[in-house]
Structure 1
Amino acid sequence: MYSFNVRAPSVAGYFYPNDPAEIRVMLSSLQKKIQKRIAPGKIIGAVVPHAGYIYSGLSAMHAYTTIMDSQKADPLKFIILGPSHRGYPIYPAVYDSGSWITPLGIAEIDSELGKDLLSKSHTARYDLEGHEGEHSIEVQIPMLQYLLDGKLRFLPIQLGDQGIKITDMLADDILKIKSDFILIASSDLNHYEPQKITNEKDYALISKITSLDIQGFYSVLEERQVSACGYGAISVLMNVTKKLNGKMELIHHSTSGDVNGDLQSVVGYSAIISYLPE
């Protein structure tokens, strides 16, 4: 899936169209459904889902258009945290140089961000193979390429261990980076339960996210059995936000059942922004 630090797409044609024109039509349609929203402060990052665009694209577009409409910096740089659905490798795996290819073209890795993080981190390691075949970060790339007219620079970090200790440590490492960046936590919420149960579980978890209650967040995950796949990525963003005295706010929630009408087995999605109040 990669050669000379060039990663080819793994899920084009599955999670998003393989045809560039189809991607643009789909994303343009989603974009037209979003009302302009300005965050009440400087954007730190966002929780963004990573399912197929037909299902989670509307929530993802809410997050990204809010970021684009709120930020004046140009160009924007992104650190994108995603869970490894295989649980491997255990450490945060950093793809620190090269590029990723999607149907919309080449997306450059920000090697300066990667070098800065790896030189200061006690948790993250250089690892290309940890990203092979994983979709949680890849799904974010075409949408960002579309919104940034192809000028995307990003640093992908794959998480195997998503525990409370390592995510706190990784947040500290990320805060040592000197450059400005937007931190994306790629995660879906509850999986494959009826709509009513998923909504209840999702909002129980979201309440802990928006209150920056990290211990409570992990308690809800365990006690309510909320199957949010990227909970570690969310935890890193919560930790960074809390350490910066920022806030987090839900701006959109949806489920797969809202799209396909199957309310017996749904997946939950959210767009939650993190910002520094003015």
Structure 2
Amino acid sequence: MRQPAVAGQFYPLHPEYLEKELKRCFEGMEIRERNILGAVCPHAGYVYSGKVAANVYAALPKADTYVLFGPNHTGYGSPISVSRDTWKTPLGTVDVDLELADGFLGSIVDEDELGHRYEHSIEVQLPFLQYRFDQDFRILPICMGMQDEETAIDVGELVANLVSKSGKKAVFIASSDFTHYQPAELAGEMDNEIIEAILNLDVSEIYERLYRRNASVCGYGPIAAMLTASKKLGANRAELLNYSNSGDVSGDMNAVVGYAAIIVE
């Protein structure tokens, strides 16, 4: 059982308070399912980025499996790891799609729980899925320590092939924040450049702009893997639903973190 690592820090520990916080995040939003294949969601504390993330989850369709790509902030575990454990949150448990996980045998994706044990980027997405779909879904959690372009594309193509062969309905979610600890104006300018490349579904251009601007987007590999997988299964457009930064909540615009909600259809 993969125990919650950041309950009580990034989001409330007690179920009643967590449900109340999620309700606040979705406040004023219409739940309207769209034909979404992929998405980018932030992974900061709910007080900062929860409302941005809710824009994606309010539009997310029901699926058999949600493939969650998250960056590895901790440095633990294998370079690319899939978890097979059941995941626990204050709202209950979520099972991993073991049939899809079995498909990674002998690939660049290792079966490894250590990379996931203390990592928050995937965990913080789960209560949103539980709030929308109760327990009626499975997940495929993939933690990426290696995020270079070649690796990200390989992971995206591998996952898309597994999903395609399985015949299951899947949605690919990349967990990522954008620019870290820059003045709000500069962060917005840099993030706009990266987001433009994402909206163009152009993985190579994302990397070119990341390197040119020395941008501090933490989940660029997960974004590239998500785009690769989504395109392979027929996605041809993307849309920015919401963008904000931590200063919009804290009032400190001198060193913000950027958050974007993007869907791929």
Instruction: Note whether the superposition's TM-score is higher than 0.5.
Output: yes
Please state if 1:109 is matched with 2:96. yes
Compute the displacement of 1:216 (Å): 1.2
User: Aligned ranges for residues 170-181 of structure 1 at < 5 Å?
Assistant: 170-177=155-162, 178=166, 179-181=168-170
Tell me the equivalent position of 1:211.
200
Compute the displacement of 1:36 (Å): 4.5
User: Partners in 1 of 2:256 and 2:53 — Cα distance?
Assistant: 17
Compute the displacement of 1:21 (Å): 0.5
User: Partners in 2 of 1:174 and 1:152 — Cα distance?
Assistant: 17
User: Partners in 1 of 2:112 and 2:208 — Cα distance?
Assistant: 31
Q: How has the CA–CA distance of structure 1 residues 146 and 37 changed in structure 2, closer, same or farther, with 3 Å as cutoff? A: closer
Tell me the equivalent position of 1:59.
52
Please give the secondary structure, in 2, of the residue aligned with 1:176.
Answer: helix
Please state if 1:31 is matched with 2:26. yes
User: Aligned ranges for residues 117-196 of structure 1 at < 5 Å?
Assistant: 117-119=103-105, 122-177=107-162, 178=166, 179-196=168-185
TM-score (norm 1): 0.89
Compute the displacement of 1:152 (Å): 3.7
Compute the displacement of 1:90 (Å): 5.0
Conserved? CA contact 1:81–1:185, under 8 Å:
yes
Compute the displacement of 1:245 (Å): 4.2
Tell me the equivalent position of 2:9.
14
- Spell out, residue by residue over 1:182-221, the C-alpha distance to the aligned partner (whole angstroms, 9 max, x if none): 1110000000011101111111100000101211100111
Conserved? CA contact 1:190–1:198, under 8 Å:
yes
Please give the secondary structure, in 1, of the residue aligned with 2:120.
Answer: coil
User: Partners in 2 of 1:35 and 1:264 — Cα distance?
Assistant: 33
Please give the secondary structure, in 1, of the residue aligned with 2:28.
Answer: coil
Compute the displacement of 1:223 (Å): 1.0
User: Partners in 2 of 1:168 and 1:202 — Cα distance?
Assistant: 22
Tell me the equivalent position of 2:86.
99
Conserved? CA contact 1:93–1:126, under 8 Å:
yes
- Alignment-mate amino acid for residue 118 of structure 1: F
Conserved? CA contact 2:78–2:115, under 8 Å:
no
Identity score, percent:
39
User: Partners in 2 of 1:193 and 1:172 — Cα distance?
Assistant: 33
Q: Which runs of 5+ in 1 are unaligned?
A: 1-5
Please give the secondary structure, in 2, of the residue aligned with 1:136.
Answer: helix
Compute the displacement of 1:244 (Å): 3.6
| 1:48 maps to which of 41, 49, 52 | 41
| 1:199 maps to which of 188, 206, 210 | 188
| 1:86 maps to which of 74, 85, 94 | 74
Q: Which runs of 5+ in 2 are unaligned?
A: none
Tell me the equivalent position of 1:235.
224
Conserved? CA contact 1:48–1:184, under 8 Å:
yes
Compute the displacement of 1:243 (Å): 3.0
Please state if 1:226 is matched with 2:215. yes
